[in-house]
Amino acid sequence: MNKETTQAVKKLLENPRKIVIVAHKNPDGDAIGSSLGLCFFLKKMGHDCQVIMPNDFPDFLKWMPGVDEILVFEKDLEKAKQSITDANLIFTLDFNSLDRVGDLQPLLENSEADFVMIDHHQQPATYAVATYSDVSVSSTAEMVYHFINALGEAEKITEPIATNLYSGILTDTGSFRFPATLPTTHRVIAALMEKGADNAVIYQNIYDTFTPDRMKLLGLALNNLTILEEYNTAYITLTQKELDEHNFKKGDTEGFVNYALMIKGIVFAVIFIENKQENIVKISFRSKGRFSVNDFSRSHYNGGGHINAAGGKSSQSLSNTVTEFISILPRYKQELSNA
Ligand code: 5GP
Ligand code: MN
């Protein structure tokens, strides 16, 4: 975090504030971990702090320290509204524009609070009075560590803070394998372990938690995989019926798309998941090398994210979405063969 932003944040935190922390819709490990880690820290600094998520999140994140105190806007509507009304400082974490918070968007847009953004996505919006945006950092959780450090308060990092930040970094780096995992990331991880984060326990809590149904759904997803060799591309589809037959719960398909990238030569992996309730097909994109799925998703699927991991959606049927996707690929043939 640069000097100017550090000074601005120090000023904002000079006196006790009523703070709300918000992360993006469909919160992942980084959204939850960075928010809870920051909230514990701000409380230690003497502020009032409340984490609000736009909607519910997967069970495999529900063990994280402090998770029971999160308000989920969809469920705790009135309490969440009240917190936002009362807040005079709002931290927005792990997203780059206010259209990423679902139904919370109008409340945030109408709030008179000061905003601070901490985020590592491309194309950050400019609504905050202090913006700490860096697309080269592995995760927002790692940025929260740098944030605390820049304030000169690293000694305030307790075990629950360390565990939350470790979890955010672990999940957003794909267990430290994505290119954004830098030497600095590992230094931060080392520091968090010294503060009490238990790597083996955290890994088990997040990843070794499949239900038999979820494992069978993974088998089905792999069976539904189609390889388009000409484009070094592989995609997976899951229909609402297939999800229903496996008692689908939020988060069950997390990580499935990565299996398509494990095929030798594949540089572009996609999963299309039918969501009848929202009447959309939710799409996750992953890539290797220089092929930017952020650009691809922004251009065609009203989405975005990072160079190698992005999401988007389609309002067409699942089969039309796939047909259209295949029709777009020839335009990217060159890029996909040189990625
Ligand atoms: P996932 O595919 O795991 O849902 O998301 C991958 C990355 O893309 C994450 O950083 C996530 O925040 C971002 N992302 C997912 N869906 C969307 C979307 O609809 N719009 C934008 N702008 N980013 C998304
Ligand atoms: Mn993130």
Q: Nearest 5°: phi and psi at 227?
A: -110, 130
| 100-149 per-position pLDDT tens digit | 999 999 999 999 999 999 999 999 999 999 999 999 999 999 999 999 99
Residue owning the nearest CA to atom 22 of ligand 1: 304
Q: Which residues contact 317 (CB under 8 A, 6 or more apart)?
A: 281
Instruction: State the pLDDT at residue 174.
Output: 94
Instruction: State the pLDDT at residue 339.
Output: 78
Write the CATH number of the domain with boundaries 212-337: 3.10.310.30
| 233-263 per-position pLDDT tens digit | 999 999 999 999 999 999 999 999 999 999 9
Sheet holding 89-93, edge to edge: 71-72, 48-53, 18-23, 89-93, 114-119, 130-133
Q: 175 pLDDT band (50/70/90 cuts)?
A: very high
Average pLDDT over residues 287-294: 96
Q: Nearest 5°: phi and psi at 215?
A: -65, -40
Predicted-complex ipTM score: 0.96
Residue owning the nearest CA to atom 13 of ligand 1: 305
286 touches ligand 1 (CB under 6 Å):
no
State which ligand 1 atom lies nearest to the alpha carbon of 301.
19
Q: Output the pTM of the full model.
A: 0.94
| 160-171 per-position pLDDT tens digit | 999 999 999 999
Average pLDDT over residues 288-316: 96
- Return the CATH number of 3-207, one of 2.40.70.10, 3.90.1640.10, 3.90.660.10, 1.20.272.10: 3.90.1640.10
3-state secondary structure at position 19: strand
What are the residue boundaries of the structural domains of the chain, listed by start? 3-207, 212-337
Burial pattern 201-227, b for ≥16 Cβ within 10 A else e, equals: ebeebbeeeeeeebeebbebbeebbee
Residue owning the nearest CA to atom 10 of ligand 1: 305
3-state secondary structure at position 320: helix
**Do 274 and 310 contact (CB within 8 A), yes or no?**
no
Average pLDDT over residues 331-336: 97
Instruction: State the pLDDT at residue 221.
Output: 98
Q: What percent helix, strand, coil does the chain show, rounded to 5? A: 45, 20, 35
Mean pLDDT (the chain, rounded): 97
